[in-house]
Structures are given as structure tokens and as C-alpha cells.
């Protein structure tokens, strides 16, 4: 029995979600596929943390990697553990679409993912479990997850930088900054902007969300400078200015440092922007929103 779980694009809330601010995340139509009829001798650290000594299903995450096997930054590790737990549920006669089963999968996957990666909010796990667009926040260790609708006319496009990044390394530098300066203005700004972006996404419409996302990208750049972490690489910074000239935003999707970036606007990127992105080795990714979450492969849409 096979289960699939989608990857994700984190639009806003990176880093700030670790401090209780809301994040906006969307699931995308590239999936991890777990096969309960076949086991693996080398599970990923996240799957191993979830299954322990229990045999783990074989998982295919190639759709979330590039042709050379590099992670694209689309949440492949979260999707892999969610799909694996979904396949185990199917093998036990359970329906991973059932809300109660999904609740158990989320809690197990979030805990395993955090153990394997020495922390994290679980926002990518939530996208893999539930699909669609989500507002996600952590309060006292508990996760608040709410399904939301994309603002009318919002255009989301993704670009792959050609360089994978280690989220744990970047997060460690930000954690060190937080330990040294817990009241650093850059951290307070990030939390405030994450809240503004989430409210705009839900109630103010596409233009307001794009403006908030643009400011969030600037705040991520400031955080990178303060933490001595390459959160916003030079090519991302240049393309963000080009996007701003088109009344749009361009920023890292998630922890940054490479991986994938998102264009957010009320119109698609222009030909001029696309050409500039190509000269900076940024390749567009064909993605759409996945609304199904973890489910049997037979229900793939």
C-alpha cells in the first residue's frame, strides 16, 4: 500500500514561527511516496526517529529533488516521514485522510522531525499532513493549524537556486544571535512582520500580502547580517529589487541560504525578470497547490 505526502513552500514566517509568530505555508504538488509493501534498510534520520526498530517503508522523494539528487528546499524530509506514517496507517487498515488519523500522524511526524533536526517548528510537517494553504503558529509547544484560502489574484511562483542549504546550520546561527541578544530589534521586527503578513493573507488581499512579504524579505536579509548567516544570497537580493520594481516580492522560501525562492505578486513575473533570473542561475519550478495532504496514492489528484 502506497501513501503520498506533498512538499511545501513557506511564504512568510521563517524563523519568526519559532518564537510564536504565525507562518503562511502552502503544500505543493510534488510528493514523497511511501510503499508499505517494501521496507528500507537505510531510512532517513526523520523516518528512523519515527519508526525506531520497526521496519520502515521504502520512500521515493525524487520529485522533491533535482536531477542530480539535490534537495530543492521543498520539505522533502518532512514529506518523507509523513508519507511513511501514512503508509503505516494504510497497512493497519486506517485512513490517513481521517482527521483523527491525521492528528496522530502530525504529532508523530513533528516529534520525529524535531528529534532528527534538533528542533524546528513543524510547519513543513503540517503542510505535508493537511495540504492546501495553512496559517501555522506554535504556542507553548502546541501547534495551531488553520486552513485558509489564497487571496484572489495572488500569484505564487517558485525558483530553484541550484544550491542546497542546511537549515540546521542557518537556524543554529540565528539561535546563537537570539541567545546573545534575545531582545534584538531585528527579531522583534520579524515577529511583527510575520503577524502583519498573516493577517493580510487572510483578510486584506493579495496586494497587502505582497507588500508585507516584501518587507519580510528585507527583514530576513537584516537577520542574516545580524546573525552572520547567508539567509539571503546576493542573487536573491538582486532579484528582490527587480521584483519590487514590478510591485511584487521575491524572497527565500523557508530558512534561505540557497534552495528555493518564491515570487509573490498580482501578476506573473515579466519576461525581463525571467531573463534576469536565468542569468543568475535561478530556474523556475513548475508547481501548483496540493490540497489533498497525506493520502493513499490512489487518491492522487
User: In this predicted model, what pLDDT tens digit does every residue of 230-245 receive, in sequence order?
Assistant: 889 999 999 999 999 9
pLDDT at 299 over 80: no
Name the region of 296 (left: φ>0; alpha: ψ -120 to 50; beta: rest): beta
CB atoms within 10 A of CB 58: 18
Domain ranges of the chain: 2-149, 155-285
CATH number for the domain formed by residue range(s) 2-149:
3.30.230.10
In 3D space, the residue among 140, 97, 114, 136 whose CA is nearest the CA of residue 295 turns out to be 97
For domain 155-285, give the CATH superfamily.
GHMP kinase, C-terminal domain (3.30.70.890)
In 3D space, the residue among 301, 225, 240, 226 whose CA is nearest the CA of residue 276 turns out to be 240
Alpha-carbon gap, residue 249 to 270, rounded angstroms: 13
The pLDDT, as a whole number, for residue 41 is 85
Alpha-carbon gap, residue 136 to 24, rounded angstroms: 6
Q: Look up cell 552572520; give the residue.
A: 228
3-state secondary structure of 299: helix
Lowest mean pLDDT among 37-41, 241-245, 273-277, 289-293: 37-41
The pLDDT, as a whole number, for residue 280 is 93
Residues of the chain with pLDDT > 90: what percent? 74
**Angle ∠(130,133,178) on CA atoms, nearest 5:** 95
260-265 vs 295-296, strand pairing mode: unpaired
pLDDT at 118 over 60: yes
pLDDT in tens, 192-225: 999 999 999 998 789 999 999 999 999 999 998 9
Indicate yes or no: pTM above 0.85: yes
CB proximity list for 42: less than 8 A, separation 6 or greater: none
The pLDDT, as a whole number, for residue 300 is 66
pLDDT at 301 over 70: no
The pLDDT, as a whole number, for residue 290 is 96
The pLDDT, as a whole number, for residue 72 is 85
How much is the mean pLDDT over the chain?
A: 92
pLDDT in tens, 137-191: 998 888 999 999 999 899 999 999 988 777 777 888 888 888 888 888 989 999 9
Amino acid at each position: 500500500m502506497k501513501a503520498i505526502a506533498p512538499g511545501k513552500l513557506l511564504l512568510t514566517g521563517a524563523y519568526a514561527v519559532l518564537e510564536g509568530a504565525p507562518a503562511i505555508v502552502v503544500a505543493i504538488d510534488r510528493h514523497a511516496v511511501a510503499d508499505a509493501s517494501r521496507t528500507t534498510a537505510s531510512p532517513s534520520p526523520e523516518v528512523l526517529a519515527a519508526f525506531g526498530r520497526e521496519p520502515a517503508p521504502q520512500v521515493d522523494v525524487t520529485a522533491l529533488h533535482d536531477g542530480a539528487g539535490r534537495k530543492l528546499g521543498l520539505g522533502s524530509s518532512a514529506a518523507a516521514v509523513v508519507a511513511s506514517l501514512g503508509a503505516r496507517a494504510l497497512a493497519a487498515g486506517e485512513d490517513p485522510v481521517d482527521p483523527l488519523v491525521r492528528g496522530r500522524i502530525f504529532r508523530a511526524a513533528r516529534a520525529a522531525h524535531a528529534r532528527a533536526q534538533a528542533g524546528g517548528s513543524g510547519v513543513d510537517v503540517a503542510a505535508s499532513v493537511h495540504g492546501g494553504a495553512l496559517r501555522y503558529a506554535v504556542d507553548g509547544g502546541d501547534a495551531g493549524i488553520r486552513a485558509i484560502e489564497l487571496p484572489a489574484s495572488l500569484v505564487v511562483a517558485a525558483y530553484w537556486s541550484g544550491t542546497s542549504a542546511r537549515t540546521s546550520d542557518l537556524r543554529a546561527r540565528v539561535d546563537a544571535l537570539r541567545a546573545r541578544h534575545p531582545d534584538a530589534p531585528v527579531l522583534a521586527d520579524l515577529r511583527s512582520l510575520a503577524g502583519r503578513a498573516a493577517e493580510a493573507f487572510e483578510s486584506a488581499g493579495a496586494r497587502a500580502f505582497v507588500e508585507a512579504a516584501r518587507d519580510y524579505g528585507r527583514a530576513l536579509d537584516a537577520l542574516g547580517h545580524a546573525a552572520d548567516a547567508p539567509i539571503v544570497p546576493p542573487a536573491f537580493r538582486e532579484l528582490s529589487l527587480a521584483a519590487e520594481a514590478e510591485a511584487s516580492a521575491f524572497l527565500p522560501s523557508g530558512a534561505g541560504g540557497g534552495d528555493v525562492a518564491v515570487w509573490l505578486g498580482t501578476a506573473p513575473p515579466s519576461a525581463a525578470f525571467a531573463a534576469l533570473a536565468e542569468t543568475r542561475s535561478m530556474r523556475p519550478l513548475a508547481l501548483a497547490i496540493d490540497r489533498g495532504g497525506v493520502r493513499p496514492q490512489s487518491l492522487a489528484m
